Structures are given as C-alpha cells and as structure tokens.
Amino acid sequence: MIINFNGAKNSALPILACCLLSKGKYKILNVPKIKDIYNLLDLIKQFNVNITWNKKELTINIEELSIPKKMDYVENFRASYYLIGSTCNMITNNFIYEVSKGCEIGERPINYHIDFIEKMGYRVVIKKTQVSIYYNKNVEECEEIYFKIKKKSVGCTINGIILSVKSNKIVYLEEYSKEPYIYDTINFLIKMGANIEITEKYIKIIGKKMLNSCNYEIMYDPIETGTYIILAAILNYKKLYHNLIIGPIIKSNLGKFNIFLKEVGFILVPNKYKENYYTISFNHNITNTIKNLKIETGYYPDIYTDLQPLIVLLLSELEICSNLKENVWEDRYKYIKGLNRMGHLITEENGILYIKKKKEYIKINKLNCYDLRADAALLMASLFAGSYHGHIIDFKFINRGYFNLNTNIKNIYNMINKND
C-alpha cells in the first residue's frame, strides 16, 4: 500500500492569503484538500476573487480586488489572521477581522501580531474575537522598523512578513521562528517580487508597492509526514503490516524528529522505484537498551509540538518507560484520558508526561476530541486497541488538517483483518 503526502497546511494558508497582495493569475500546486483550506478560500472569494481547483492545482484569478463591507466568517477558524497582513494595505478607513481560537491546546493570544500591526502605524481595537484595524497617517511614513518578537511564533513571524512586503518601510524582524513553513512563504513572496533578506539574527523586508502574480508549488507537510511515519513504525513494531510505502519524505524538514526515530530503533528505508518514498524498519535490540528516555518538544529544528501526541502514542506502544515535556502549548495533554481509557498508562505531573508499560487493550465506544493532532493519535490508538470504527472520533478537528487519514487507516485495518 502506498500513501502519498499532501502539501503543508501551515504553508498553504499564508501563501494563499498572500495572493491578495497583487492582482493577476496564480497557479498554486500541491494544495491540500482539507477543511482549513476551504475555509480560507471562502474568505478570499469575498474580495472579488475567482478560484478554480483541479486535483492539487489551485488557480486564483484576481482581476479587480475589492474589500468587502463585512466579512462572512466560518466559526472557529484561527488562520483567518493571515488576512490581516495581506489586506491591511487595502484599508482606507477601518476594517473588522474575526480571529478564533482554533484547537483546544491552551491560550493562543495574538498580542504579538497586534503589537507589530501598531508598530507599523495602524490603530487596533479588540473586542472579544473581533479585531478592528484603523488606517492611520503613520502608515505612510517612510521609516525603519525594528521589531523583536517576544516569544517565538510562526503566525506572528509570517504575518509580520506579509504586512511588511507592500509597505514603504524597511522592517527588521528579530527573534523570528525558523520553521520550514516560514521559508516556504518567503520563497513564494520573493517569487512575487518581494525584497526579503534572511540572516541568522533577523529577517529584513524592504517594502515595495508593486508585486506580481506567480506560480508556486507548496512544500510537503512535515506533520503529516511524521504522523504516517509513526503509524508505519507502530505497525512494523507490532508485526501487523510491513509493506506500507509512504512519501514524499523530505528529511531536512523533520528536524530532530529524525534523531528521535533513530534513538528508538526506527530506520527509513528508501524505496527502489519511487524517489523520496520509504518503508520503515525496526531494530528490536535498541528498545531493550533504552532506559528512561526523555523527550522535549520545541520550535524547529526541535521536535514539533504538533507531533507530541503521536510520539506519546509511539512510546507507549513501544512500552519504553519515558517522559515527555511540552514546551510550546500549556494545555496539550487532554487526550491522555482517551489513551488511558484504551489501556495505556500515562500520567502527568508538573507539566511532564510519564509513560509506563501499558495494560491490556480496552475497547471503547466514543472519545472526546480536542485538537486535530491529538485526535489523529487517538484514531490510530483505536486501531491498535481493536475498537476502530467510524464513530470513535468526531472528525471535525482531523478534517481541518488531514486529507484521507481515516480512509487510509480504514484500508490498513481491512488489510490487517484480511491477513488474519
């Protein structure tokens, strides 16, 4: 069985929003057909934009841009904040944006975004989830802006870049995040004609009023990649299914997750016939030597926070006594109750998860859902617990970030049962 990966959601969202920076025709390849993308496209269309989609190629045709009198927002769609950066240059008086919370993984304020928007000369008023941006004379002042992001933030870094590229200012973004999505968005903007320079200490943007449309292919999703690597790894470890071929895998985008895989005994074996496609092999001798493995999430190149629930599932299935510390979001452990209900033995103390050898599997009928990555881990866990079926998970979160995850797992489930 071959599973083909999709474009990165966290690249596609800002890149599609960037298309509002200039009139013209865009062809964007490798766009994932997931709910968050559809939600953003529904918002973009309201700016008098024509959109057609053929497989993974998305065509955006903009003849005349116009800002709507009032936006019709989809409920709980956090990535709408990228529209602030891409449309601020269109504001002649004021405009109201809606910014939702998204997944239930902790407090997710956009105060760093707001600080930067005000630094650029706009006036901002916030009422609950509504953000009103007011045009100000200071926006037209030609000046150098130095902005230090107080806490690493992918969203704030990208929004700061988008807001700066059409300004008449020279902007230095310091303490910026270095996730691959950011470089993907920068590459797209440079192809549009933006003047962006990257150093180790800052991103320098020299604003220019005129940009142009272009064609672009979005990078493959490192979180989807990590998800399927872990699925294939557990299947291999449990000797359930060995012939899962996955890809394309771009190893450089996985950061220290590559190191973690080797630590616990998994090796990516290249496929002879398809470039960047792999199967997973496992060295059983390594797990016997591991004692009290310690894992921490962080910002790239550290292990992605989004892979945290899936790594916890893997460690529990390997029955490696270990602990994990989440360093990005303070409330990303809610799914642990669901895993423990299925027989896993995971406890939390002072923000650290302690993973012990699991008990016998327990079949369950329903799981509470909180965020798309945790729900992906719970869905996979239900497969191994033997309680997998369509009603275990509420797919409202999973469908926001994964294309065909349930279908692929269902096919694997059928193959396992057929082999039995």
The partner residues of 144 in beta bridges, in order of sequence, read 170
The alpha-helical segments, DSSP class H, found in 69-202 are: 82-87, 111-119, 154-164, 180-192
Write the CA distances from 75 to 35, 39, 52, 129, 267, integer angstroms. Answer: 12, 9, 23, 11, 41
The alpha-helical segments, DSSP class H, found in 362-419 are: 372-385, 398-401, 405-419
Q: What is the pLDDT of residue 214?
A: 98
Q: What is the pLDDT of residues 128-172, one digit of tens each?
A: 778 899 988 888 889 999 999 988 889 999 999 999 999 999 999
Yes or no: say if 315 and 234 are a contact pair by the CB < 8 Å rule.
no
Question: What phi and psi, each to the nearest 5 degrees, are found at residue 228?
Answer: -75, -30
**Domain ranges in the chain with CATH number 3.65.10.10:** 8-205, 222-419
Cα–Cα dist 85/334, whole Å: 32
Question: What phi and psi, each to the nearest 5 degrees, are found at residue 60?
Answer: -115, 120
Q: What is the pLDDT of residues 42-64, one digit of tens each?
A: 999 999 999 999 877 899 999 99
Q: What is the pLDDT of residue 105?
A: 39
Determine what percent of the chain is predicted with pLDDT higher than 90.
Answer: 66
User: Which DSSP letter does residue 111 get?
Assistant: H
Yes or no: say if 247 and 274 are a contact pair by the CB < 8 Å rule.
yes
Cα–Cα dist 390/368, whole Å: 14
Question: Within 13 A of 47's CA, how many CA atoms are on the CB side?
Answer: 28
Q: What is the per-residue burial (b if ≥16 Cβ within 10 Å, else e) of 217-253?
A: ebbbbbbbbbbbbbbbbbbbbeebbeebbbbebeeeb
Q: What is the pLDDT of residues 361-388, one digit of tens each?
A: 888 888 888 788 999 999 999 998 887 8
Write the CA distances from 366 to 210, 322, 378, 414, integer angstroms. Answer: 53, 27, 11, 20
Task: Identify which of 18, 23, 27 has the alpha carbon closest to the alpha carbon of residue 54.
Answer: 27
> Which tops the pLDDT comparison, 391 or 233?
233
Whether the predicted pLDDT of 37 surpasses 90: yes
Pairing of strands 266-270, 245-247: unpaired
Fold of 222-419: UDP-n-acetylglucosamine1-carboxyvinyl-transferase; Chain (3.65.10)
Cα–Cα dist 157/11, whole Å: 13
Q: What is the pLDDT of residues 74-116, one digit of tens each?
A: 665 667 889 999 999 888 889 888 876 544 434 446 788 889 9
Range 8-205: architecture per CATH? Alpha-beta prism (3.65)
The tokens describing 30, both together, are 């490798």
Task: Identify which of 379, 376, 324 has the alpha carbon closest to the alpha carbon of residue 346.
Answer: 324
Cα–Cα dist 112/59, whole Å: 32
Task: Identify which of 287, 299, 356, 283 has the alpha carbon closest to the alpha carbon of residue 324.
Answer: 356
Whether the predicted pLDDT of 254 surpasses 60: yes
Pairing of strands 195-198, 202-206: antiparallel
Q: What is the pLDDT of residue 104?
A: 45
Cα–Cα dist 379/115, whole Å: 39
Q: What is the pLDDT of residues 305-335, one digit of tens each?
A: 999 999 999 999 998 889 999 998 777 898 9
Cα–Cα dist 162/404, whole Å: 31
Q: What is the pLDDT of residues 281-299, one digit of tens each?
A: 998 888 778 878 999 999 9
Q: What is the pLDDT of residue 359?
A: 80
Q: What is the pLDDT of residue 158?
A: 95
**Average pLDDT of every residue of the chain:** 90
The tokens describing 175, both together, are 């303490």
Cα–Cα dist 323/354, whole Å: 4
Whether the predicted pLDDT of 16 surpasses 90: yes
